[in-house]
Amino acid sequence: MKTFKPWMVVPTALATILMSAGLASSAPIPISPGFKPDPLEFKGTSGGAQASNNCGMIGAVPNHVLSLGANFNYLRFNLHSDGGQPTLLIKTPSGSSCVQADSFSGGSIQAPGYWEQGTYSIYVGDRSGGQHPYTLTITQTP
């Protein structure tokens, strides 16, 4: 016979609330050179209710948070959205940058380059304010 454990109610309720609010999912994902599998792949929904400077509508919390354990001589973020006008806002240890899809890219964005060690907040937005499925891949292969 199973017994009721009242001490389990509070932690379970708290975890449920944090997950539904999207707060528990923003724990940094550690990435180090030589990571496997390459590319890493993340899926989600673009857009949000918060306006950003020149990067469309984004969520109040990042879609993904990455913790780079070392400097990367080369790392490329590839974003593909299944609609809308996607934007990629990357808040870096030294500032932030916004990359937008142009009319020739078919909803795809690439952000390659040197990336220094630190924590990165990734926001996938939409200039038109819509919400669309996206796939974000990260590779260290040129």
Structural domains in the chain, sorted by start? 27-139 (2.60.120.380)
Reply yes or no on whether the pLDDT at 119 is more than 50: yes
pLDDT of residue 106: 80
Work out the pLDDT band at 26, boundaries 50, 70, 90.
low
Q: What is the pLDDT of residue 103?
A: 74
pTM for the predicted model, two decimal places: 0.80
Measure CA 29 to chain center: 10
75 close to 113: Cβ distance less than 8 angstroms: yes
Amino acid, res. 119: T
